[in-house]
Structure 1
Amino acid sequence: MMKNILCLACLLFSGSTLAQLALDQQPPIVSLTDKAGGRVDGASWSSAELKGKVHILMYVDPDEVKLNAHVEDALAAESFPGDLVTSVGVINMAASWKPNFAIDLILKRKQKKFPDTIYVRDMQRAFVSGWDLRDHSYHIVVLDREGRLIFEAAGELSATQIGQLIAVIWDRIKD
């Protein structure tokens, strides 16, 4: 009996450890289709698409959307070349009490402010379980052109973290 409990504990621990992001490693593929989510227009989406450019992925609880507005503004002010850097806003729909139609209105405003951003809905917290991103928060992940993790931070970013974020992006697009 004790041996079975230990085996189960090891399996549970190893599974949660595998889901965590590691610098210079590609995260596991997360696919959002049908009821699990996808692009705002209803099309399927997969994190396998996060290659070829530096991707800034923002995993956002709609209730925390303003938490890192200063980061979004700082990134926009950098005017990164669009052929080298792009952003993806993944909305953690399961984390919010807001109705979907209200979130859609917010997304339309965001789309106007950031027309080159891809917006994706995560209806079932796939990134929380698949990448161990923080639920009910604002999580920023940056992947290089090969899809490897080069920056990750959750919660409200400090001025120092914003500087690090911007520096790592410029460093990777100069390669």
Structure 2
Amino acid sequence: MKKFILISVLLSFTIMTVHSQDSKLEVGKKIPEWALPDAKGETHTMDTWEGKVLQMNYVDPDEEALNDHFNDEIDKATDVDKTIDSNYFKGFGIVDSKSTWKPNGIIKMIAKRKEKKYGTTILFDKEGELHEKWDVPMDSYTIVIADKNRICRALYKGRVPEDEVEDIIQLIIELTKE
């Protein structure tokens, strides 16, 4: 009986480890599903923007300006230059509320400003659910580019290097044409 219990416990840990490894966010792999609310409480998933290439910004509010240079260029490519077809692309933010010391009122104010600036949707991860599902760092800024099949095509943790911005824009353009 003791052997059975020991084997069961070991098997459980093995299954948990394998499951945990399968859910990590990695380039070339399917992005783990999630469901998060916007400021109005409406729940969104990646399927909310079915058929579109996604740029998901997972952001600690303390780092909210870290990749403005990148987002400004994406916005320009979408709205001014029209090189990114907005019919096939959606960029949005996910607030990592668990990583910040800031009160909810300030977080919502920052989110509202970003929504207006970029004409986008901001979602809220109040419990830090995506830290576990995606295995991304707390107190940071993570950008995920997903194709229409929800395969991760690019992953940036921290600041996007200036010399890579145009490459990411070209990747998005190519993905929207698939």
> Under a length normalisation based on structure 1, what TM-score does the superposition of the two structures give?
0.86
Identity in percent: 26
User: Following superposition of structure 1 onto structure 2, how do residues 67-106 of structure 1 map, counting pairs within 5 Å?
Assistant: 67-79=66-78, 80-106=84-110
Aligned partners of 1:110 and 1:27: how far apart in 2? 24
1:146 matched residue in structure 2: 149
Aligned partners of 1:20 and 1:161: how far apart in 2? 24
5+ long unaligned stretches in structure 1: 33-37
1:160 matched residue in structure 2: 163
5+ long unaligned stretches in structure 2: 79-83
- Answer whether contact 2:49 2:90 (CA < 8 A) is retained: no
User: Following superposition of structure 1 onto structure 2, how do residues 100-139 of structure 1 map, counting pairs within 5 Å?
Assistant: 100-115=104-119, 117-139=120-142
Shift of 1:26: 2.1
Aligned partners of 1:174 and 1:28: how far apart in 2? 24
C-alpha change, 1:10 and 1:156, in structure 2 (3 Å) is same
Deviations 1:112-152 (A, max 9, x none): 2111x111000011111112222211000011122221111
1:54 matched residue in structure 2: 53
Q: Over the residues paired in the alignment, what is the CA RMSD in angstroms?
A: 2.0
Shift of 1:162: 1.8
1:64 matched residue in structure 2: 63
Among 20, 24, 29, the residue aligned to 1:25: 29
Aligned partners of 1:161 and 1:14: how far apart in 2? 33
* Alignment of 1:169 onto 2:172: yes
Matched AA of 1:25: K
* Aligned pairs, number: 169
Aligned partners of 1:159 and 1:114: how far apart in 2? 19
Shift of 1:171: 1.1
> Under a length normalisation based on structure 2, what TM-score does the superposition of the two structures give?
0.84
2:81 matched residue in structure 1: none
Matched AA of 2:165: I
1:35 matched residue in structure 2: none
Deviations 1:59-97 (A, max 9, x none): 000011111111111111212222111112000011110
Shift of 1:169: 0.4
Aligned partners of 1:112 and 1:22: how far apart in 2? 31
Shift of 1:22: 3.1
